[in-house]
Structure 1
Amino acid sequence: MPFLTALVALVGAVCLLDLVLTLGVMRKLREHAAVLARSSAAGGADRPPMLPAGEVAAPFDAVDTAGEPVSRDALTGRTLVGFFSPSCDACTERMPGFLADAAAFPGGRDRVLAVIAAGEGEDASAYRDRLGGVARVVVEPHRTGIAKALAVRGLPTFCVLDETGRVVETGLPSDRSPVPA
């Protein structure tokens, strides 16, 4: 009989612990939902990851990894632009699609721009090496330069600019290709 009493007490203690932990998780979920609601109310969740099509990028000036100047005013035609970060898993996943689209983009490497947003201490060399074969590469701190001019708020992000710096399309060209039935 003492064994059965101890077992019931142990099961009761485990249930009580489970109840306390469940209540803690529920409290954290409520706090998280409130943070998301505030973010959405401030336009965070519904805002696009960059300027929408039709908007014009702010003026920007940068230097690519080959030492050549890059600016909005120097665009000579439609330009495919991709934004990446070495610390972004989604960027790594989307890289092959960008590389394929960049290789097929009219105008070649001169009409493709890859912007790597690298934080302090981040090594952008692997991205720079992979992208350098198909694009002019600019490495800049997060949310500065070209990314700031295009109001980039999420990575990876892609667009096509015209010669005036107007966003013609967002996303990758291959994302818009019809899928065979």
Structure 2
Amino acid sequence: MGLLTAAVVIVGALCVIDLLLTVGVIRRLREHTELLAGTTQRVVAGGPMQLLEEGTQVADFAATTTDGEPISREMLPAMSVVAFFSPGCKPCGAMIPPFVEYAATLPGGRAQVMAVVVGDTGQSGAYADLLTPVARVVTEGFEGQISEAFKSRTYPALYVLDGEGKVVSSGTEMTVLPKPSMR
């Protein structure tokens, strides 16, 4: 009888230890889920966040907007805002409404803003529709000309360019954009 009691106590202790370990794993998984949900950007193809730094010259590019207009680096006026978004990127979806509101206040209107929707062209339509009233919109794949010119692999990404195509500021938050009244 003593042997049976000892076996039950050992099995009970092992179950309690297993339960404690399972609770610990669940707690860590929740922490990681919260960290991932709170991420401010989506990085494609792994690696660190990639943004062109202040003073960097953007490479030449030529593309056609969703409205059929040609667009190139040379056609962008001074203090142009260039934004990169990708469908399926939660931070991108959250940033589009405040970005549209911001772009609507710019004195240069659509001519001063270019939005690039990067990814599957079948999924890009919803973002393009939201951005078209306030920006010249280009949709392209991850290896598109504009993405290559900006070496864009981080979404969302925001840039302000001077009249010569040099980066004035860049980042993944709206705070990198100058206040419209300061233009």
How does the TM-score come out when normalised to structure 1? Answer: 0.73
Residue equivalent to 1:157 = 157
Superposed CA deviations along residues 81-117 of structure 1, whole A, max 9, x for unmatched, are 1100111001011112211221112300111000000
What letter corresponds to residue 156 of structure 2 in structure 1? Answer: P
Structure 1 segment 1-181 matched on structure 2, within 5 A: 4-14=5-15, 17=18, 44-45=47-48, 49-119=50-120, 122-171=122-171, 175=175
Indicate conservation of the 8 Å contact 2:76/2:111, yes or no. Answer: no
CA distance in 2, matches of 1:89, 1:173: 14
1: CA distance, partners of 2:171 / 2:21 = 46
Matched residue type, 2:9: V
Secondary structure in structure 1 of the residue aligned to 2:139: strand
Task: Identify unmatched segments of 5+ residues in structure 2.
Answer: 26-46
SS of residue matched to 1:142 = coil
SS state of the match for residue 159, structure 1?
strand
Q: Work out the CA distance in 1 between the residues paired with 2:128 and 2:144.
A: 18
Consecutive aligned runs of 4 or more in structure 1 exceeding 4 Å deviation: 1-4, 15-22
Aligned to 2:34: none
Shift of 1:132: 0.7
Offset, 1:14: 2.6
State the secondary structure of the residue aligned to 1:123: helix
Q: Which runs of 5+ in 1 are unaligned?
A: 25-43
Q: How many residues align?
A: 156
Q: Per the alignment, in what secondary structure is the counterpart of residue 113 of structure 1?
A: strand
Structure 1 51/174 Cα, relative in aligned 2: closer, same or farther at 3 Å? closer
Q: In the aligned structure 2, how far is the partner of 1:174 from the partner of 1:95?
A: 10
Residues 13-47 of structure 1: CA distance to partner in whole angstroms, max 9, x if unpaired? 3356569879x9xxxxxxxxxxxxxxxxxxx44xx
Q: CA RMSD in A?
A: 3.1
The 2-side partners of 1:7 and 1:169 are apart by 67
Distance 2:57 2:16 in 1: 60
TM-score by length of 2: 0.72
